[in-house]
Chain A
Amino acid sequence: MSTTIIEVREAPVELTLRQRWSHYFAIIYAILAVIIGINLRDTALYATVPYSNPQVGITAFYPNHWLIDNSGNYVFRVRDMSQTGFKTAMQVNIIPINQDMTTRNILETLILNRSQTDSTFRVLSQEPIQLSDGTEATQMRSTFVASDEDPFLESIPTVVERLDVIAVQGGQAIIISFLSDAQTFESNYPRFEQFLNDIDF
């Protein structure tokens, strides 16, 4: 006896053109939403505030909601106070130099000063770089240990990585610095990169 198997299949449903487009649009909307979301996030995350100091001839854009301070021995400094532990910071210094001084002299002075005031200071690397506007500069990576000045609190010191970009222009040296907890240095670095690209002196 032979068995006949009859397979019943649902006839393929042809999508209507409308359905097909609605699917396409849904996918496009989703992609657009993701793009807009990412864009909004980046806009919020990388939103900047303009800074201008005509006296020293510097304009810059620093991250929104970072605390700006121009009362120290620098042109200005901004810090991310929402960071736990060491507050990621970017700062700009200007030091007068004599015309015979080279970037090498400035670096040596920085290294000597920092070594004498901080026994934990270590230089990691030095290399020439070119800024986005074509200015020749030198960058120096270094580390030191930062600890809370309040002796009555139990604060654990943080290893800080520091990047100094030194450019010589108009009889003065401009030192643009980025300081971050060494653990988060790389993830925070894009902020500094943007800061460095936007700064004008």
Chain B
Amino acid sequence: MTLTSKLRLCSGAIITLFALLLIGSPIQAQTGLDVERVQRATVLVMQTRIVGNTPIITCVGSGTIVSRDGLILTNAHNTLPGANCPGDTLIISLNIRPGEPPVARYQADVVQADPGLDLALIRITRQVDGRLIDRTALALPFVELGDSESVNLDDTITVVGYPGIGNDPIVFERGTVSGFAAEPSGGDKSWIKTSASIAATMSGGGAYNQNGLLIGIPTTAPLTPNPTTGNCISVQDSNADGLINTNDVCIPSGGFINLLRPSAFVQPLLQAARLDITISFPLQSVATTSAPVTAANRPRFRYLGFSPSVNAAGMPTTIIRSLPTGSDSLYLFFDYENMTPETVYELRVNTNGIPNPNFSVSPVRWSGGQRGLWYVGSSGQPFPNGTYEFTLFIDGIAGDSARLVVGGGPDEGPAFSDIVFGLLDSSGNVTGTGYVLPTGTTASARFLYRNMNAGTPWAAIWYYEGQEVQRTDDGTVWAESDGANGTKTISVQSVTGLLPGSYRLELYVEGRLAAVSDFTLAGGQDGSFARIFSDTHFTTASSIQEALSAAPITSFSAGTSPIFAMFDWQLIGSGTLWRIDWSVDNQVFFSQTQPWSGAPTGSNFLMQLASPSGLPDGTYRLDLFIGQIQFDTAQFRVGIGQLPIDRFSSAEGIILRGRVINSVSREGVPGVSVLLISEDYSVSDFTQDWNQNQLFATATTDRNGRFEINLPLQRDVQYSVVLLAEGYLPITADGVEITDEIHPDNSPIDITLELTPE
């Protein structure tokens, strides 16, 4: 009897088997969090290095698989080699069985990382024994990212990770969103604060909303390991002296986390990792390297002040001395110097002398530049009355602190606020983009004032790159003609021309700082606006020299690589922070802010985009920013101008798994092929051609007869199934369908199938 005739005989009898089995599946309570999928997708990330012939664990954290081909989201600090984590190999351990410690399975490489945001995407590349893995053959359970912008105060979340350095199984910590922390790098939702109790080694794991989507990454940065403080554990005899003691490698492990880095920060990294595009700067140096820390260039904070709000440029609207009762928004501003992405900073807040975790920020990496004005604050979260003391720490050492009283009514004293900068038009109005002005001989500022009295002493001091360049005369007092409330315009001037670079205006009233704001001078004048970048264009060429003279192209054929981008620039001061954004189909996949380090004026700033298999089809856009303001944009198309659809990018669906047993002995049958046929074909179609293209997924049973279909099945789609094993009658079934009535939740379906011996 041929296989085809066997299939025909069996298919009629078995055709309803799957449907019956599916109907027989236990119906579980509706829940958004697929606990098993999350458990399987949560991994332990171990950074190691070889000492002698022994791999030594140097850092440990949690991570989450975010794509079926093995992309893992975790923190940058426990993946990138650094002073506190000096390893060079990443070992990935999986949660094979619930309730058990993870098992080392793979090695991974870093593919995308942002040390400041402390996020990294690493990709599984090898088996743990070093054998290379074909990533297209991987079909790992993964989770999808949710919208962290839609997270609200008091939302229930579940934080998942490994609480120990290897012996502990995964834990699920439930808690609520207790607030948000604001920083210039990400606005009001730079951090999500939570009440969940999160151990430090869960850093890099996942925080899930009630729909089971990953909305945050629990994050804390390890301080310098110090065995005597208990912030690390030595578990191996790394120096081979026969003892495990304080002389051995100490794995950072201490402390607790109250912050989640929102998933919105992950999207560009994830998009870049999926596209597999490398962006380089062949002619210009844009990478900032940190100089060794000395007493002269030690990181520091100074000039702490408070503001109830920030403006679009990330500047304080005003400086306050107290906050009225019922206020729900407060920002701590301060200057910073000599900071690097590896610097760990922390904010501890005491209210009436008692530590207040709601407004504190646990130790995290620095996500700003080297120097400038920074803020950390929160909005939408009421501040109870009391005396608040804010203390900043750098690398675990206490620095400056400031105190603020919350309570009472609004401050009725004289105040300045809402500084904006620009050029004066013919009517005397300040015009321009607000915070980035063209170079010239004059820059003007307009600000609001209230409760001013005639004769009140006030002062305006202008700075350029930290050096005072102009101030109002000593003894300047408020003129009666200006009135108590209104707007005022002042200017800074230089007959030789104001140099391009970073400027600051400080406004004082009655000897205290009342308002402060930074602004930038760059580019040539184009009306009231600055013209900084120009002639942005793209081309392809086989060499850099050829690219510099090649004709501009706006539409490239599919698979082109490399593609070069070039632009000219003028009058940019050294150290001026500027940003490059690359996006494809309106999704940013590369964003880098760095201080300008080239000549003030020049042409052909060159960037190269390359991909091993050619740039994917899509519409690519380059945006150039200074101070949050876009100064140039250009785009090009590759292929059809639209990214290909990845049908495997969704984790939505139901996992089908089960066991195949011998109908006589009732024992599992190993090595059985389970073929799931796509909805467009039936069993008879498939057995005509036996073509892989007609299959949705395949699986093979293990030694216990267990199998798992490696792609989630979609609801209300009819699949067909073929089970094949030598020595057994095959099983076939058409019309296998999962409906809401049969299986209302997202939990896996577990079935048992019986094979009859021939």
A residues apposed to B, CB below 8 Å: 44, 65-71, 81-85, 87, 116-120, 148-156
Contacts and interface: CB of A to CB of B under 8 A. Distances in A.
A81 B675 contact: yes
Contacts of A83: 671, 726
B21 interface: no
Contacts of A70: 692
Contact of A44 (B2, B687, B695): B2
Interface string B658-685: 0000000000011111010000000000
A150 B4 CA distance: 30
Given A65-B690, A70-B692, A81-B698, 16 more contacts: A65-B3, A68-B692, A82-B724, A82-B725, A82-B730, A84-B671, A84-B672, A84-B725, A148-B700, A149-B137, A150-B139, A151-B105, A152-B94, A154-B702, A155-B700, A155-B703
Nearest to B103: A151
B130 interface: yes
Contact of B131 (A87, A117, A153): A117
A118 B708 contact: no
B710 interface: yes
B691 interface: yes
Contact of A151 (B94, B690, B704, B707): B94
Nearest to A66: B690
Contacts of A120: 131
A116 B132 CA distance: 8
B77 interface: no
A65 B724 CA distance: 11
Contacts of B138: 149
A71 B692 contact: yes
5 contacts: A67-B695, A148-B702, A150-B702, A150-B708, A156-B703
A67 B132 CA distance: 26
Interface in B681-727: 687, 689-693, 695, 698-704, 706-708, 710, 724-727
A175 to B, nearest CB: 18
B2 to A, nearest CB: 5
B129 interface: yes
A119 B724 contact: no
Given A68-B692, A150-B708, A155-B702, A82 B137 contact: no
B365 interface: no
A151 B724 CA distance: 22
Interface in B1-52: 2-4, 40
A69 B694 CA distance: 10
B708 A119 contact: no
B236 to A, nearest CB: 24
Nearest to A47: B2
Contacts of B730: 82
B96 interface: yes
Contacts of B692: 67-71
Interface centre among A81, A83, A116 (most CB of B within 10 A): A81
Contacts of B710: 150
Interface residues of B, number: 45
Contacts of A117: 131-132
B699 to A, nearest CB: 8
Contacts of B690: 65-68
A154 B673 contact: no
A135 to B, nearest CB: 29
A179 B690 CA distance: 19
Interface in B427-484: none
Contacts of B691: 67-69
Contacts of B669: 84
B732 to A, nearest CB: 13
Contacts of A152: 40, 94, 96, 708
A178 B94 CA distance: 34
Contact of A119 (B131, B673, B675, B693): B131
B710 to A, nearest CB: 7
Contacts of B701: 153
A155 to B, nearest CB: 4
Contacts of A154: 702-704, 706
Nearest to B674: A81
A118 B129 CA distance: 9
Contacts of A44: 2
A186 B137 CA distance: 28
Contacts of A151: 94, 96, 105, 140
Given A71-B692, A149-B138, A150-B139, A118 B726 contact: no
Contacts of A66: 690
Contacts of B40: 152
B700 A118 contact: no
Contacts of B137: 149
Return the 4 tightest CB-CB contacts between A and B, nearest first: A84-B671, A69-B692, A153-B702, A117-B132
A144 to B, nearest CB: 9
B71 to A, nearest CB: 16
Interface centre among B131, B669, B690 (most CB of A within 10 A): B690
A153 B132 contact: no
A113 B4 CA distance: 39
B513 to A, nearest CB: 59
A68 B2 CA distance: 18
A44 B726 CA distance: 15
A82 B3 contact: yes
Interface string B77-116: 0000000000000000010100000000100000000000
Contacts of A155: 700, 702-703
B169 to A, nearest CB: 15
A164 B704 CA distance: 33
A71 B707 contact: no
A148 B426 CA distance: 76
A82 B129 contact: no
Contacts of B702: 148, 150, 153-156
Contacts of A65: 3-4, 687, 690
Contacts of A85: 670-671
B461 to A, nearest CB: 63
Contacts of A87: 673, 700
Contacts of B725: 82, 84
A81 B702 CA distance: 15
Contacts of A116: 132
Nearest to B687: A65
Contacts of B129: 119
A159 B503 CA distance: 70
B707 A153 contact: yes
B171 to A, nearest CB: 20
Nearest to B140: A151
